[in-house]
Amino acid sequence: CASFKGKLNIGVDTIQHGVEGLVYLLTESSKLMISEVDFQDSIHVLGFSDELNKSLLQLYLDNRKEIRSILGELAPRLPSYHSLEWRLDVQLASRSLRQQIKPAVTMKLHLNQNEDQTAQVLQTDPATLLHLIQQLEQALGEMKMNHCRRIVRNMK
Amino acid sequence: ILDDPDLKDIDPTVLKHCHAAAATCILEAGKQKADISAISTCLEDCKLDKERIEQFCTEYQKMTFSLNIVVSFSIGRSPLHITDVSWRLEYQIKNNQLHKTYQPSYLVTLNVENSDSGSHPDVSFSCTMEQLQDLVGKLKDAAKSLERATQM
């Protein structure tokens, strides 16, 4: 800021306000994803020169995507799926019972929570595994149903 | 047992000892999956008379099945056990940081049970359609290898 002050001969406060104003303009425009026409109309009221308005529009269009992806990181988030490792186990004996044959699937579920990765060890039996698969396949199928397709189409 | 009218003449301490001894004997026999002849031999060594041995073995045979189920499923440690899954499909329109997001996402909750205390907060996570497809693919691989293992 100090170097700019020297070069352009204006106060530090002015520069700060200018930067803040520019940041606000770009983030709000990117957040709302406004069209070119709307952007031009909005800045027209500020009374800048045509050349400046063109530069601002170009700045907006060039940086819009990146600003939106950064803003997307700020949204509230639940732990999200990262990956799953699995292993087939058969329990043959335990302290309380010998000579068993008890199959189980042991899994390690990797989740991301706010830049941290957590791993949870879980286990399930074959019957529950098949039930899980059936339920989750149903979930995947929902996106392809007409109801969801109609809403996705109309919401754009 | 202490309230049973048939047993009220016996010293309660002796009764407790008998009960504990019988229970230990039954559990050990069940644990080792001992057959009737092995149990009889063992009881003979303890100098029990034939009639008593026969009675014990008959009662033991009646309860073997239910005993094994109780012992194998409720006692012992294991990692958190998944019992059920629920899911929710949502379509995000906007949030306070970003408008017009237009993204579908799934919220999956795995209901889990702890072998010790019986309840545990469920494991929930969000995922995209591609991530859910990856998860289902991996679960299907596990199921396939289970099937192959049973055919061996």
Residue B37 covered by a domain: yes
Residue B55 covered by a domain: yes
Number of neighbouring beta carbons within 10 Å of residue B12: 11
Looking at the structure, tell me whether residues B123 and B87 fall in a common domain: yes
**Strand pairing report for B80-92 and A116-124:** parallel
Question: pLDDT tens for residues A89-98?
Answer: 988 888 777 8
Q: Counting one residue from A and one from B, how many pairs have CB atoms under 8 Å apart?
A: 159
Are the C-beta atoms of B15 and B2 separated by less than 8 Å? yes
Looking at the structure, tell me whether residues B52 and B100 fall in a common domain: no
Tokens standing for residue A55: 């530069």
Looking at the structure, tell me whether residues B61 and B90 fall in a common domain: no
Query: Of the residues B50, B74, B98, which one is the last residue of a structural domain?
Result: B74
Looking at the structure, tell me whether residues B147 and B90 fall in a common domain: yes
Q: What is the pLDDT of residue B75?
A: 65
Residue B96 covered by a domain: yes
Query: Of the residues B53, B74, B95, which one is the last residue of a structural domain?
Result: B74
Looking at the structure, tell me whether residues B44 and B92 fall in a common domain: no
Residue B7 covered by a domain: no
pLDDT bucket at A131, cuts 50 / 70 / 90: very high
Shortest Cα distance, chain B CAs vs residue A146, angstroms = 14
Q: What is the pLDDT of residue A130?
A: 94
Tokens standing for residue A52: 């400046």
CA distance A20 to A30: 15
Tokens standing for residue A113: 């929570």
The phi, psi pair for B113, rounded to 5°, reads: -125, 140
- Cα dihedral angle (A56, A59, A64, A70), rounded to 10 degrees? -110
Looking at the structure, tell me whether residues B91 and B140 fall in a common domain: yes
Tokens standing for residue B33: 């999956």
Full-prediction pTM beyond 0.80?
A: no
Question: pLDDT tens for residues B94-143?
Answer: 888 888 888 889 999 999 988 776 667 889 999 999 999 999 999 999 99
Q: What is the pLDDT of residue A85?
A: 94
Tell me, yes or no, if A156 comes closer than 8 A to chain B by beta carbon: yes
Question: pLDDT tens for residues B15-53?
Answer: 888 888 888 888 888 777 777 888 888 888 877 788 888
CA distance A125 to B146: 10
Tell me, yes or no, if A93 comes closer than 8 A to chain B by beta carbon: no
Looking at the structure, tell me whether residues B61 and B98 fall in a common domain: no
**B5 vs A86: which has the higher pLDDT:** A86
Looking at the structure, tell me whether residues B28 and B50 fall in a common domain: yes
Mean of pLDDT over chain A: 87
Shortest Cα distance, chain B CAs vs residue A31, angstroms = 5
CA distance A129 to A25: 51
CA distance B59 to B43: 14
Tokens standing for residue B87: 């899911």
Tell me, yes or no, if A2 comes closer than 8 A to chain B by beta carbon: no
Are the C-beta atoms of A122 and B79 separated by less than 8 Å? yes
CA distance B83 to A67: 42
Q: For residue A33, give the nearest of B91, B103, B100, B95 by alpha carbon.
A: B100
Domain count, chain B: 2
Shortest Cα distance, chain A CAs vs residue B111, angstroms = 11
Q: What is the pLDDT of residue B1?
A: 60
DSSP states along chain A: -HHHHHHH---HHHHHHHHHHHHHHHHHHHHHT--HHHHHHHHHTTT--HHHHHHHHHHHHHHHHHHHHHHHHTS----EEEEEEEEEEEE---SS--S--EEEEEEEEEEEETTEEEEEEEEE-HHHHHHHHHHHHHHHHHTTSHHHHHHHHHH-
| Chain A hits for B102, Cβ within 8 Å | 152, 155-156
Tokens standing for residue A50: 């045509």
In three-state secondary structure terms, B110 is strand
Residue B33 covered by a domain: yes
| Residue ranges covered by each domain of chain A | 12-74, 78-124, 127-155
Q: Across-strand partners of B124?
A: B109
Residue B3 covered by a domain: no
Are the C-beta atoms of B38 and B61 separated by less than 8 Å? no
CA distance B140 to B127: 18
Residue B5 covered by a domain: no
- State what percent of residues in chain A have pLDDT above 90: 29
Question: pLDDT tens for residues A142-152?
Answer: 888 888 888 88
Residue B40 sits in which domain range? 12-74
Query: Of the residues B46, B74, B102, which one is the last residue of a structural domain?
Result: B74
The phi, psi pair for B55, rounded to 5°, reads: -60, -45
- Weakest-pLDDT range from A24-28, B45-49, B70-74, B84-88: B70-74
Task: Provide ipTM, 2 decimals.
Answer: 0.74
Looking at the structure, tell me whether residues B90 and B145 fall in a common domain: yes
CA distance A146 to A152: 10
Q: With a CB-CB cutoff of 8 Å, which residues 22-41 of chain B face chain A? A: 27, 30-33
Residue B6 covered by a domain: no
Query: Dihedral sign, CA of B41, B47, B48, B49?
Result: positive
Q: What is the pLDDT of residue B86?
A: 92
